[in-house]
Structure 1
Amino acid sequence: MNFFIVGAGAMGCLFAARLQKAGFKVFLRDYLPDRAALINRKGLRVEGIDGEYEVEVPTLTTPPAFKPEAVLICVKAYATAVAAQAVKEWLPPEAVIVTMQNGLGNVETLEQIFGPDRVLGGVTSEGATTLAPGRIRHAGRGDTVIGPSRHPQTAAIAAAFNAAGFKTRTIEKVDNLIWSKLIVNVGINALAAITRLKNGRLPALAGAKTVMEIAVKEAVAVAQAKQIQLSYPDPLARVLEVCRLTADNIASMLQDVLKHKQTEIDYINGAIVREGERLAVPTPVNQALTALVHAIQESYEDRLAR
């Protein structure tokens, strides 16, 4: 199986490097020509829990010279539509599109562009941090899940991920999958962005853990109102487990804040607020977290130095 990975951030580079290292044919799509040229010149460099290694992965800003079988979408949620439209004409009609993104709405956006029969939902709890263009730290392991299981390509893609060292399983109900990952992100990402702490430190601080507990409880109440069946029995315990497993990881939203970039807050905690309003489920802590991250984004140039 060959892969076309859209997005040269931490997760896109991690999947590209591991799949290429496992012997699969991989191409990486980057919208930035200078960064693509750098990766082509120096390769992808990964350090962290499996040691340090370098892999050459062709990185493109133009259509690939092969027909991709699986396309992994690894861009930020706010860039999904633009990225998908940019590569739509490059892909054969039989190519399967797999979202490996955070937040709500990505599957629906991709289905509108490619059609529902071509889109798989996917989530991963692998932790990765960008250190420099084409250089990442693999900071923690976690499960990867894709679905629906009934799709004819799901099993083959899961097998490829497992061969590349990603512990992967399949699931039938994608909504349950997306919401199960969303609630983990609700508990970690905004708090990390606001406190500027690595994942493992959040539960160790009483104040941060209290906010985490309430934010997760609100998100679970919204999920229950939607009749979502989460993939774990104890949502808070799952969030704490991810914090432990990815203790040294810098959450993606914190990475964005440190780089003064737009975050995915509207697709994570903000999505809980919107769904809560629609279903008459109160979400005051998620509303506050969303507002605080927006305030940080809007004041990047005004923040005081030490």
Structure 2
Amino acid sequence: MKIFIAGAGAMGSRFGFMLHQAGNEVSLIDGWQDHINAIIENGLEVNYNGQEFNIQIPIYNQKDLDINSKAELIIVFTKAMQLDEMMKDLQPIISKETKILCLLNGLGHEDVIDKYLPAENIYLGNTVWTAGMTGPGKVKLFGTGALELQNIVPGFEKEANEIAEALSSAGLNAKYSDDIKFSVYQKACVNGTMNGLCTLLDGNMNEVGATSTSKTMIWKIMEEFRAVADFENINLDLDYIYDKILEFNDINKLGNHYPSMYQDLIINHRKTEIDYINGAISRKGTKYGIPTPYCDFLTDLIHAKEDLLDAK
């Protein structure tokens, strides 16, 4: 399959690497020129569960997609606040047959994508794979994961299953979902607790989870997500979500992991996706008349930290 990865950061590079190793025709697209240059000059350098790989994989700047080729599948991993610009830049490789799989963190991305191609070509997904960047052109991959996806227009279940099969053949453990919006909300709830807290408290998942106040903060945030989700007829099981958070915080699993928001802001001084996670709950809460004080405060604090670090 001819696959383009739009947004070749840590997670995009992980998917690109695994799909490339499985024999697909994969190209990366990104806007970070230092990262692009490093991959062109040195290949994509991958530490995969302690084993070193170096792969030669095409990569393009999203502003210069002069490619005589159309994508069969585009997997979108760009940052949420950059999605609209990325979709504009992707137009040269999109045909009427091109399918888009959106795997971004946060809520509401399909509303942006369907401005650029028919809704029947759009698939939403949710993934629990993790990855980290150690520098331009260098990624560290660890652990295992899975993903689920669904067509946003009824009647395209066959196509969704075909995408899932292609991803699973690369070891990405993909499956079809009957209710992807529930899964997206559920992941947003997990991210809404640990991403912001780890970033503000300067700790990994295990360190923050072990603090004396973490349980109280996590539950307050989760309750705000549930209140907003209930208004949209999405029923979140907070006991289940909390158990997943505890699992992620386990030092023997993902406890040593620093969430993507931490990597973006604290390590790379890049702006975060807070407006599409806790900020989305704040906006929805205002719209629905639901108080969301913890999400409001977390969003404001992350933006203040962005200002202090002059994040770009």
TM-score by length of 1: 0.92
Identity among equivalent pairs (%): 28
Does the 8 A contact of 1:85 with 1:113 survive in 2? yes
Is 1:177 paired with 2:202?
no
Query: Secondary structure in 2 aligned to 1:153?
Result: helix
Is 1:140 paired with 2:143?
yes
Kindly provide the amino acid, as one letter, of the partner of residue 113 in structure 2. Answer: L
Could you say which residue in structure 2 is the equivalent of 1:13? 13
Partner residue of 2:279 out of 257, 264, 270: 270
Query: Secondary structure in 1 aligned to 2:123?
Result: strand
Does the 8 A contact of 1:185 with 1:268 survive in 2? yes
Deviation string for 1:151-179 (max 9, x for gaps)? 33211221122122222211133322321
Name the CA distance, whole Å, in 1 between partners of 2:81 and 2:16. 22
Does the 8 A contact of 1:128 with 1:136 survive in 2? yes
Could you say which residue in structure 2 is the equivalent of 1:250? 258
Deviation string for 1:75-110 (max 9, x for gaps)? 000000000110123212101001111111211100
Could you say which residue in structure 1 is the equivalent of 2:129? 126
Is 1:90 paired with 2:99?
no
Displacement of 1:37: 3.0
Kindly provide the amino acid, as one letter, of the partner of residue 174 in structure 1. Answer: I
Name the CA distance, whole Å, in 1 between partners of 2:212 and 2:231. 29
Name the CA distance, whole Å, in 2 between partners of 1:231 and 1:9. 31
Query: Secondary structure in 2 aligned to 1:26?
Result: strand
Is 1:155 paired with 2:164?
no
Kindly provide the amino acid, as one letter, of the partner of residue 114 in structure 2. Answer: E
Does the 8 A contact of 2:69 with 2:93 survive in 1? no
Name the CA distance, whole Å, in 2 between partners of 1:166 and 1:200. 25
Is 1:81 paired with 2:84?
yes
Gaps of 5+ in 2: none
TM-score by length of 2: 0.90
Kindly provide the amino acid, as one letter, of the partner of residue 31 in structure 2. Answer: Y
Q: How does 1:186-197 map to 2 (within 5 A)?
A: 186-197=192-203
Kindly provide the amino acid, as one letter, of the partner of residue 20 in structure 1. Answer: H
Does the 8 A contact of 1:96 with 1:153 survive in 2? no
Displacement of 1:214: 1.3
Name the CA distance, whole Å, in 1 between partners of 2:41 and 2:125. 30
Query: Secondary structure in 1 aligned to 2:107?
Result: coil
Q: How does 1:62-73 map to 2 (within 5 A)?
A: 62-73=65-76
Name the CA distance, whole Å, in 1 between partners of 2:237 and 2:73. 25
Does the 8 A contact of 1:139 with 1:249 survive in 2? no
Change (3 A) 1:111 1:13: same
Displacement of 1:36: 2.0
Return 223-232 or 187-196, whichever deviates more: 223-232
Change (3 A) 1:34 1:158: same
Deviation string for 1:94-143 (max 9, x for gaps)? 01001111111211100122121111101211111111112111133332
Change (3 A) 1:251 1:73: same
Change (3 A) 1:233 1:168: farther
Query: Secondary structure in 1 aligned to 2:45?
Result: strand
Is 1:284 paired with 2:273?
no
Change (3 A) 1:282 1:231: closer
Does the 8 A contact of 1:232 with 1:238 survive in 2? no
Name the CA distance, whole Å, in 2 between partners of 1:211 and 1:63. 48
Kindly provide the amino acid, as one letter, of the partner of residue 263 in structure 1. Answer: T
Name the CA distance, whole Å, in 2 between partners of 1:232 and 1:69. 38
Could you say which residue in structure 2 is the equivalent of 1:45? 45
Could you say which residue in structure 1 is the equivalent of 2:306? 297
Does the 8 A contact of 1:142 with 1:242 survive in 2? no
Displacement of 1:230: 4.3
Kindly provide the amino acid, as one letter, of the partner of residue 247 in structure 1. Answer: G
Name the CA distance, whole Å, in 2 between partners of 1:55 and 1:231. 42
Kindly provide the amino acid, as one letter, of the partner of residue 117 in structure 1. Answer: E
